[in-house]
Structure 1
Amino acid sequence: MAKQTNKTASGTSTQHVKQQNAQAAANKSQNAQASKNNFGTEFASETSAQEVRQQNAQAEAKKNQNSGKYQG
């Protein structure tokens, strides 16, 4: 009777493949969580609330200034 090994017919170690698959799944899960946690951070770090308020006020003032002009 032949001794059973943990290798496929082509000589691949099944235990090694299982380890690689588990590690890949863990990395994928970790990367997905990191992406989820970072979503929106890029935009938040580049946006100044005070600057947005100032731009909105300027746009509103310009709109009010232009609303009195004849557009015909």
Structure 2
Amino acid sequence: MENKYSNKTASGTDVQHVKQKNAQVSSGKYGTEFASETDVQHVKRQNAQANKNQKEC
């Protein structure tokens, strides 16, 4: 249910943001959004720690 007085739905979703994301998906620009924000070395360390903890159990 969209609130006609603002740019957000009743649940607080930003309508323009959703429309922008939908446009990116249809134009093929989706998928690299978070790539630049990911610290690969940090993820690898976390994975190694998780594997180590799993083997100890």
TM-score, normalised with respect to structure 1: 0.38
Q: Which has the higher helix share?
A: 1
Choose 1 or 2 for highest CA Rg: 1
Higher relative contact order (CA 8 A, sep 6+): 2
TM-score, normalised with respect to structure 2: 0.46
